[in-house]
Structures are given as C-alpha cells and as structure tokens.
Copies of this chain bind each other. A is one copy, B any other.
Amino acid sequence: MTNPTASNIHIALVHFPVYNKVGDIVTSSVTTLDVHDISRISRTYGIATFYVVTPLSTQQVLVERMMKHWLEGYGSTYNPTRKEALLVTRVKNVLDDAVTDIATRTGKRPKTVIPDAKSFPQSRDYPTIREELKNKDEQYLLVFGTGWGLEHGLVKRADFVLAPIEGLSGYNHLPVRAAVSVILDRLLAREA
C-alpha cells in the first residue's frame, strides 16, 4: 500500500537550539530510543521524512549507525516490497537544512508546524491543522524540540503553532516520543 495521505508531511526532532531546565540555550543529547520510537511512530502514520537535527558530528555518526542497523536489519526484512515507501531518516545540522532538503527534493518550501505552550499570532487548533495538512500542493514540516523546548525565536518563525498536549491533571510532562505519537494521531489518524 502506498501512502497517499501523508507523503507530504515530514518531522524534525531538534536538539539545538533548545532550552535546558534553567533556561540556557543548549544542544541536548540525542536519545537513540527517541530516534527508534519516533521512526516507528512515523512509519505508522506514513510520515515522508524524519529529520534528526543536531550540529554535533559525534551524535550524527551515532544516529546514522543506528539507523543503518535498523533499516538494514528489522526494517529491511519486515516487508522488502514496501521498503521504498518506508521512512527515510536523515541527519541534519540545523533546522534550516531540513527545510532546504525538502525544498530541493519536492520543489516546495515546507510550511513549518511547531507545538508550543505559548500562544502566538499563528497559533491554530488541531482540527484546523488537520485540515491544512490535507493540502497535497504543500509540504509540511512538524518540528519537535527536545530538552525543555525549542528556542523561542525559532517558534516565532513557524508558519503554524499548535497547542501542546494538555492532559487532564495539570501535569504535562510527556516524553517527546509520547507527544509525537499523540500529535500525529490527532492530525493524521483515519476518521473514526
């Protein structure tokens, strides 16, 4: 089965520039588990490309080694005929490189969608973004920060800002891999 519904949608997991607990701008470490989980989640929801964004070359090597193992291991034997339709994971230095990569490959500069707890002029609710993503003439890049969140200047330049996942308890510290699952499900799951 090819994937007509989500092939214009890409994800970036950004490790710089992000905040740490005390508000400094830092480069967070790549968590191989996040890469592994988000790859599986992305495949499930038919994401076209998953970008791991970090400027640290040692971490880039780590991710590339891990992905190679996975794509040529389990991923390659799971269903070889579907291999080409499956996720492409790419490592990039900075978010702009992911944007450029999509523009080069598709001929279209992607619109960026970033979840953030604050309200921005370009903030939209989930049903609105869900509709927006159905526009097959556009490319979209969903951007997820690690650590304590993406640097605000980066969020300000987003085309769309999404409300974060709000729980029922006032406790909102979902692991990024859980937030990605929930957000993709809200934006891309088949209608009930």
Contacts and interface: CB of A to CB of B under 8 A. Distances in A.
Interface of A: 1, 3, 5-6, 33, 37, 40-41, 43-46, 78-79, 82, 85-86, 125-127, 165-175, 177-179, 181-182, 185-186, 188-190, 192
A127 B191 CA distance: 11
B44 A192 contact: no
Q: Which of A46, A171, A185 has the most CB of B within 10 A?
A: A171
| Total copies of this chain within the assembly | 2
Contacts of A171: 43-44, 78-79, 82, 86
B188 A185 contact: no
Contact of A127 (B41, B45, B192): B192
B174 A41 contact: yes
Contacts of A172: 44
B169 A44 contact: yes
A43 to B, nearest CB: 4
A189 to B, nearest CB: 8
A37 B85 contact: no
A127 to B, nearest CB: 6
Contacts of A192: 125-127
A153 to B, nearest CB: 28
A181 B6 CA distance: 21
A126 B127 CA distance: 18
11 contacts: A37-B178, A41-B175, A41-B178, A43-B171, A44-B169, A44-B171, A44-B174, A125-B192, A179-B181, A182-B189, A185-B186
